[in-house]
Amino acid sequence: MSNVVISGTGVFTPKEVITNEELVVAFNAYADLQNEKYADEIAKGERDAIAYSSEEFIFKASGIERRHVLNKSGILNPEIMHPTFEKRDDDELSLMAEMAVEAAKSAMQQAGRKAEDIDAVIVAASNHERAYPAIAVEIQQALGIEGFGFDMNVACSSATFGIQSAADMISAGSARAILMVNPEICSGHLEWRDRDCHFIFGDVCTAVLLEQKNLAVATDQFEILSTRCLTKFSNNIRNNHGFLRRSLPEGLSDQRDMQFMQEGRKVFREVVPIVSELILSHLKDENIDIGDVSRLWLHQANKAMNDFIGRKVLGRVPEPGEQPNILHEYANTSSAGSIIAFSQNNADLKDGDLGVICSFGAGYSVGNVIVQKRRM
């Protein structure tokens, strides 16, 4: 459809790791401190005691075993409970740009491409370190890419929506090649003091290089056969930390809803059918039989959720490796999850094999990309 290929991918993985065990120890120490501090109010029934978190629950409910983060010490300090970063001067590379440059270099190397071959940069992520200048423009400068760049946000679906945007622009002739990057500093936005969600996210950055099929030089390429995106409004995953925060009435400028909030059960129940239906109808409209699809690279939020979607889409239990899971190692990395799964699990596919990259999350949003392996 598009004459566009993915010719390279890259993943920047932060060195620091937090295991479930370490996370739970820190959370429970925080709970003890708080419960001690508010012991009188708790005894009078004016406040609920904070319940302990548990490793068993986390693994069983999510499939997550550990997560990579940019700063471990702040998150695990029961007096702090969030990452801490040094202030950077405006003329230093920002954190998101730094991660993205690393991931982008790997994608460019895999694609056999240099800065002069690329015409645009898209930063597609769930949180942006600042509003302007766009992080994409900073990355463009850091890599020496001419042309243009912009930032976009569709939460967990940012990468697939970014792939669609890039593929459409390349098809239309606006650019020869586009670097689409997903720097996700989820740790900065997660409420580590809330046991319902403190285990969910990790940090990472992925990069995807897309280019005109007839210009691509990489040995292994994935032709984009078709993309489909869908959004449907829901408040079940939300945060209210926008730029009007300072303007709220006194006492409301630091509320729980300014970090990640979700109704996990409702999300699970409502998103699974939307995703399964979208994957199946998209394949049908492209005259592709699900039996001919070799791999599903799904958004990585919850292992049970992905097992469920895999079963619904394939009509059977997926074979090992057919629907790769990276959650145990990375946790939910928002938009980057399906791209990590794709990047780390495509080398064995043969020329002509078909696959689907699908992400889903806040919005609600779902992005589906049908690809076909090309071996030159």
Residues in contact with ligand CO8 by the rule CB under 6 A: 53-54, 57-58, 61-62, 126, 155-156, 186, 189-190, 195-196, 199, 201, 237, 260, 262, 264-265, 267-268, 301-302, 305, 332, 334, 361-362
The pair phi, psi for residue 224, each rounded to 5°, is -85, 110
Distances (CA, A) of 9 to 105, 201, 322: 9, 22, 20
Which of 191, 119, 153, 362 lies closest to 263, judged by CA?
Answer: 362
Q: For ligand CO8, give the closer residue by CB, 156 or 357.
A: 156
Distances (CA, A) of 179 to 118, 119, 152, 196, 337: 7, 8, 13, 35, 17
Exactly one of 156, 205, 229, 358 is catalytic; which is it?
156
Nearest-approach distance from CB 280 to ligand CO8, in angstroms: 19
Q: For ligand CO8, give the closer residue by CB, 49 or 215.
A: 49
Active site annotation includes 186: no
Nearest-approach distance from CB 288 to ligand CO8, in angstroms: 26
Neighbouring C-beta atoms of residue 290, cutoff 10 Å = 15
By beta carbon distance, the residue nearest ligand CO8 is: 361
- Could you give the CA distance from residue 358 to residue 295 in angstroms, rounded to a whole number? 11
Nearest-approach distance from CB 220 to ligand CO8, in angstroms: 30
Nearest-approach distance from CB 92 to ligand CO8, in angstroms: 24
| DSSP letter (8 states) at residue 70 | S
Give the start-end residues of each E strand in 36-144.
66-69, 120-124
Q: For ligand CO8, give the closer residue by CB, 106 or 276.
A: 276
Q: For ligand CO8, give the closer residue by CB, 105 or 193.
A: 193
From the number of C-beta atoms within 10 Å of its C-beta (0-12, 13-18, 19+), residue 168 rates as middle
Catalytically annotated residues: 156
